Amino acid sequence: MVTDAQLSHPEIREAVRRLCADFPGEYWQGLDRARAYPSDFVAALTREGFLSVLIPEDYGGSGLGLGAATAILEEIHRSGCNGGACHAQMYTMGTILKHGSAEQKLAYLPAIARGDLRLQAFGVTEPTAGTDTTRISTVARREGDSYVVNGQKIWISRAEHSDLMVLLCRTTPREECAKPSDGMSVLLVDMRAAIGNGLTIRPIRTMINHATTELFFDDLVVPAANLIGEEGQGFRYILSGMNAERILIASECIGDGRFFIDRASAYAKERSVFGRAIGENQGVQFPIARAYAQLSAAALMVDKAAALFDADQPCGTEANMAKLLASEASWYAADMCVQTHGGFGFAEEYDIERKFRETRLYQVAPISTNLILSHVATHVLGLPKSF
């Protein structure tokens, strides 16, 4: 069993566990049944400063690195809680931090650090573009001191629980650009002013309680002052944010995997059939041991990717591989844990079936396993692109 002494940031991990102890399985089960947002949990994380660890101290945050953020999310998930409701509050602000103006940083980052503003909506994916971001069709047309936005986004989580949204849109038609990735820009949308004034939000009910939505833009007016960085450079701006997202999601998968291994190991020791603990059987032991080995290897890749990100080194491949390996390891551990528990693995009160559903998402989002394999094949191994 992995102990704090073997993991980074032990003090942070202990503090996160203490907080999570106030939000046991019954809390999450109730939210899951009601499809409700974990407002109390998010407020507690905000109050303790866990969601502002990546914001520099000059703007009211902790000024810690991505390694500390991964420790926080890992422990949230290992404790049986779920950070999906608020993890974007950690990294979405990075677009402002790295590419925003001095005025934008002062206007938004301190309020985000305090929790007075929620910036946890990331508007990129579209129904007809999917993961080919260069083909997005949401358009922002410049008119005087404003942009007028029209289009549609899908799978935008937490939009109903966010004050601000980072929105990627086309400001120059794709066919007029030298490269497909040119001509996209990032706007910071004030959701409070936008809803009902050109922005419509439609919730999408899914197999997990993830507060995901579809967005419709109909002549939404956004001040030109809300343009982040230079017009036409938006695709480049969001890439670093995507790397952070993939590393943090990978850390959640590591936490999920540890949750499943912890639960399976404890149950295998306690559950007695035919007069002995089921954990004495190699048919039960070996899958748990394999899950532990796979998860341990994946955790090393997450640590490597986070270290590269914190050193401001290229980490796109490592971020993708961390997410691939961690999501597959957590899914194997989830399946193993259900199998170890038998029928009890499907009972709501054990929390395993809920976590089973939650961790399955991460082989699809925020980027699918196949796209990561394609990245490695073409960008690392030099294999020809398939069309």
What CATH number is attached to the domain comprising 73?
1.10.540.10
Q: Which of 245, 318, 328, 353 is catalytic?
A: 245
- 166 in a structural domain: yes
End-to-end CA distance of the chain, in Å? Answer: 45
- 387 in a structural domain: no
- Angstrom CA distances, 299 to 36, 127, 165, 256, 306, stand at 31, 33, 31, 12, 11
Check whether residue 192 and residue 228 sit in a common domain: yes
Number of domains, the chain:
3
Check whether residue 365 and residue 259 sit in a common domain: yes
Check whether residue 322 and residue 367 sit in a common domain: yes
Single-letter amino acid, residue 376: V
Q: Spell out, as residue ranges, where the chain has pLDDT lower than 70.
A: 1-5, 387
End position of a domain, from candidates 232, 262, 280: 232
Return the pLDDT at 385: 85
Return the pLDDT at 6: 72
Return the pLDDT at 1: 59
142 three-class SS? strand
- 43 in a structural domain: yes
Check whether residue 196 and residue 241 sit in a common domain: no
Report pTM: 0.95
- 268 in a structural domain: yes
Return the pLDDT at 257: 98
Check whether residue 173 and residue 209 sit in a common domain: yes
Check whether residue 147 and residue 219 sit in a common domain: yes
Check whether residue 98 and residue 58 sit in a common domain: yes
| 302 touches 250 (CB < 8 A) | yes
Return the pLDDT at 239: 83
End position of a domain, from candidates 191, 211, 232: 232
Single-letter amino acid, residue 204: I
Check whether residue 240 and residue 307 sit in a common domain: yes
Q: 200 exposed, middle or buried (CB, 10 Å; 0-12, 13-18, 19+)?
A: middle
End position of a domain, from candidates 197, 232, 267: 232
Check whether residue 82 and residue 144 sit in a common domain: no
Return the pLDDT at 111: 97
Note if 176 is an active site residue.
no
Check whether residue 243 and residue 215 sit in a common domain: no
Domain hosting residue 11, numbered range: 4-114
Residue 327, Cβ neighbours under 10 Å: how many? 30
- 386 in a structural domain: no
